[in-house]
Structure 1
């Protein structure tokens, strides 16, 4: 094929742009050394690998960089450093480093992986969880309370985005439980009660009292009844006793206080790329839909988005085509349950309080039609541009078509050092030294981890992460 001087104006920019916009690697593949290190507990190495990764040099990936760095610092017990990164992540979420119009244009014209990463809804709320635990570990209770109030703002924003739709992820029970823990740690029993009550009400409104893979924790029920009783709210005590099917029993005064044991188990799912193939069909006069080969998916397409003369061209030229879309791959668990024991006098099983794995899969499913509609619009725009180019230069049109094919890519970014699930339980302490033993159990695998906690009459937090994959 001979390329004229005039056609070089298409060849050269496209040749230069293709390596920038196109890559077969997913986010997980781009940061593989980091991911391997963090999954094997080599957190110092994982932090170093983050600094080396070229992927994070682009401003669009800075949120991910700060979330991953904040988590690795948290895992190393560097709580102040961890919050520096999480504060930077908060700043990115509250600001805009490029105009919203430009960002959305890049997503429509090229692919969504070129947009500034804004995080999944549950990822944003989990930033507050880590910051709250960091402040508690640093004994900065006032800062922890400020973060607790920001949890309310995060839930309000989530509810607004989902238009108060109880059938979608419009509230986050776990973040409200964390809020209650923070308030109770700071001695604010009234606000702790409100947070626990709000969390419990989310479960009570859900089918089978199960919210995104989590049954209502018995610990939450105990905490709600206890704080209501402490405040003298006997009407609320009686109401929730009836709702929970349990009777509140006042525990004996415990001069050592208690410790909340938090266990982060496994790793969150990673995003991969899936390909969907669609054709444009007419279902009644002027009623066009995109449908897959098995006719199981129907997505309406509004030709009113385009000029009338463009509609006819789209109908003629949009034949079978490919759409890249993200999908999750679950990471298998090495451990499945955990028990915690204090000395030889008290033991209990940790309860699941957050299922990040379920949240990831289900929230992606909830927004499938909306995001697939955007992907189809993106392809339509590219097809119209190709048609206009072909009218003047067939070779240039072919080149643009090649560019469109190579840039059709799913956004596979997600916060991959998050746990698969989070478990917790509250352990009473005696005054002075307490030996806490955490026993992790899997298929033929058992690990014991010991801690010494000094009972001081207050509520304390203790966290442990086992990120291995089976």
Structure 2
């Protein structure tokens, strides 16, 4: 049970001071409100999904606070990308990268403020999987702008950026919480995307290295990340490796990455190495269409509240130690409090990742008329799973800091009681309650999954028919991507967000 408030003193002067204090605290309570970041942006996703990009930009402009600048730029960059304003999108993404770099390199001077308020008082530091997507989107923007060299630069940066932010995030975690985050450092899709961009530009050595890295990463982590190995990856490696004369290395990869080099063709027939090389050969006179379908939204964070005990018998001279002890004891609260007299139950707020149900789109069947039959997509990237693994790695540290903040506030109220009496303690307790709010910030418009479709087509202009499929395999609806130009021996990259 919560400890009851102290009785009101009878002294008239103290009563007047109490009334004034209560009025001030009421104003603070009203102004601070209880809305979390996710609640404030409740209109953003419906606006974005409905193609109301101007309205979505207005929401971001209105609601983003001074501590949310990197998220402001990330949201703005992605909205502008889908609005077809590619140069402006890249300006926003570049600003996001500069802001994030500054946040990760500056001294953690805001940390003390979060102990007396909440984590929303400090600037949001984007997660590694969020920042890794920035070069991907910048690369697509440059591709659509016809700036091939700049697109290649971004492709090269994607995996490096992910690794950089993984390192920065690991520094704040306990050693025992780092394993899953380490495993998402090597992102298979980003390697594969880089390889295709190099391949497009004729940089075959770089393409082979990127394809090889993608093969190793998919083999190691597609189960953990719940992704599918794109069937074209093994063929791309075989085609490029054979042209470069890397047959011995290809044999090693076939042995170490059996999920990438399937031993059957699309119809289930056995395939030898020689057959594989024939299947992988570039068909002269055709062009390659790479369609990347982005579905749904990453899970958002919500606020949860929980209570923890403060014991009468403890001085709490080392709040850090006690915060970890309380976190460890939360698994069995009854055993933790047994035999101890509880002085107070402290109520705090923490974030939780709301996985929810995935979006309705499970895959897509794509055709270009009668030119080349149809192809089925494969889920090559799972940002929802990366968000979950990242949050679970950070969760012990997040809850430790939440408990430390609550404990610090309560110890301050205990000190206020000694110095100024019951009303001072009451003021400290109310301030602690008013300022207690979970940090639910994240990049809200990111997709949950990326699906890849490849089509080899004769030169021409095509209207791609994209039949979206549900998890039961039944068609949901069909969308048309009009005017896709294909040139012989060239690559055409197309992306589309679907819901």
User: Of residues 164, 169, 194 in structure 2, which corresponds to 1:179?
Assistant: 194
Q: Give the equivalent residue in structure 2 for 1:290.
A: 326
1:194 aligns with 2:209: yes
Q: Give the equivalent residue in structure 2 for 1:342.
A: 368
- In the TM superposition, what are the counterparts of 1:90-129 in structure 2 within 5 Å? 90-96=97-103, 100-129=107-136
Q: Give the equivalent residue in structure 1 for 2:270.
A: none
Q: Alignment RMSD, CA only?
A: 3.1
User: Of residues 43, 47, 55 in structure 1, which corresponds to 2:53?
Assistant: 43
Task: Judge which range, 315-324 or 146-155, deviates more.
Answer: 315-324
User: Of residues 464, 473, 476 in structure 2, which corresponds to 1:445?
Assistant: 476
Q: Give the equivalent residue in structure 2 for 1:412.
A: 440
For 1:266 and 1:297, the matched residues in 2 are separated by 38
Task: Judge which range, 144-153 or 349-358, deviates more.
Answer: 144-153
Residue pair 2:132, 2:159 contacting (<8 A) in 1 also: no
1:170 aligns with 2:185: yes
Note the alpha carbon deviations across 1:94-141, whole angstroms, 9 max, x for none.
Answer: 124996333212222211112111112211111121111111111212
Q: Give the equivalent residue in structure 2 for 1:231.
A: 244
Residue pair 1:132, 1:182 contacting (<8 A) in 2 also: no
For 1:430 and 1:128, the matched residues in 2 are separated by 30
Unmatched segments (≥5 aa) in structure 1? 301-314
Q: Give the equivalent residue in structure 1 for 2:66.
A: 59
Q: Give the equivalent residue in structure 2 for 1:263.
A: 293
User: Of residues 332, 348, 354 in structure 2, which corresponds to 1:323?
Assistant: 348
User: Of residues 450, 466, 470 in structure 1, which corresponds to 2:498?
Assistant: 466
For 1:173 and 1:296, the matched residues in 2 are separated by 39
In structure 2, do the counterparts of structure 1 residues 337 and 251 end up closer, same or farther at CA, with 3 Å as the change threshold? same
Shift of 1:63: 1.2
Shift of 1:418: 0.9
Note the alpha carbon deviations across 1:391-412, whole angstroms, 9 max, x for none.
Answer: 1222121111111122221111
Q: Give the equivalent residue in structure 1 for 2:160.
A: 153
For 2:349 and 2:22, the matched residues in 1 are separated by 25
1:383 aligns with 2:410: yes
Q: Aligned residues, how many?
A: 444
- In the TM superposition, what are the counterparts of 1:211-230 in structure 2 within 5 Å? 211-230=224-243
In structure 2, do the counterparts of structure 1 residues 101 and 41 end up closer, same or farther at CA, with 3 Å as the change threshold? same
For 2:24 and 2:199, the matched residues in 1 are separated by 60
In structure 2, do the counterparts of structure 1 residues 293 and 252 end up closer, same or farther at CA, with 3 Å as the change threshold? closer
In structure 2, do the counterparts of structure 1 residues 252 and 24 end up closer, same or farther at CA, with 3 Å as the change threshold? same
For 1:448 and 1:326, the matched residues in 2 are separated by 37
Shift of 1:336: 2.1
Shift of 1:419: 1.0
Shift of 1:422: 0.7
SS of 2:123's equivalent in the other structure is coil
For 2:230 and 2:67, the matched residues in 1 are separated by 38
For 1:183 and 1:101, the matched residues in 2 are separated by 39
For 1:102 and 1:166, the matched residues in 2 are separated by 28
Q: Give the equivalent residue in structure 1 for 2:141.
A: 134
For 1:91 and 1:342, the matched residues in 2 are separated by 41
Residue pair 2:297, 2:447 contacting (<8 A) in 1 also: yes
Larger radius of gyration: 2
Q: Give the equivalent residue in structure 2 for 1:365.
A: 392
- In the TM superposition, what are the counterparts of 1:429-440 in structure 2 within 5 Å? 429-440=457-468
Q: Give the equivalent residue in structure 2 for 1:311.
A: none
For 2:379 and 2:101, the matched residues in 1 are separated by 31
User: Of residues 401, 413, 426 in structure 1, which corresponds to 2:429?
Assistant: 401
Residue pair 2:310, 2:342 contacting (<8 A) in 1 also: no
Shift of 1:293: 8.4
SS of 1:214's equivalent in the other structure is coil
For 2:345 and 2:229, the matched residues in 1 are separated by 46
Residue pair 1:318, 1:383 contacting (<8 A) in 2 also: no
Shift of 1:252: 4.5
SS of 1:167's equivalent in the other structure is helix
Residue pair 2:468, 2:477 contacting (<8 A) in 1 also: yes
Report the TM-score, using the length of structure 1 for normalisation: 0.85
Shift of 1:363: 1.5
For 2:483 and 2:203, the matched residues in 1 are separated by 26
Residue pair 1:338, 1:441 contacting (<8 A) in 2 also: yes
Note the alpha carbon deviations across 1:198-247, whole angstroms, 9 max, x for none.
Answer: 222123233xx424121333233332333222322111211222332434
For 2:143 and 2:17, the matched residues in 1 are separated by 65
In structure 2, do the counterparts of structure 1 residues 441 and 454 end up closer, same or farther at CA, with 3 Å as the change threshold? same
Residue pair 2:384, 2:449 contacting (<8 A) in 1 also: yes
Residue pair 1:265, 1:466 contacting (<8 A) in 2 also: yes
Shift of 1:444: 6.0
Residue pair 2:77, 2:93 contacting (<8 A) in 1 also: yes
User: Of residues 306, 329, 351 in structure 2, which corresponds to 1:276?
Assistant: 306
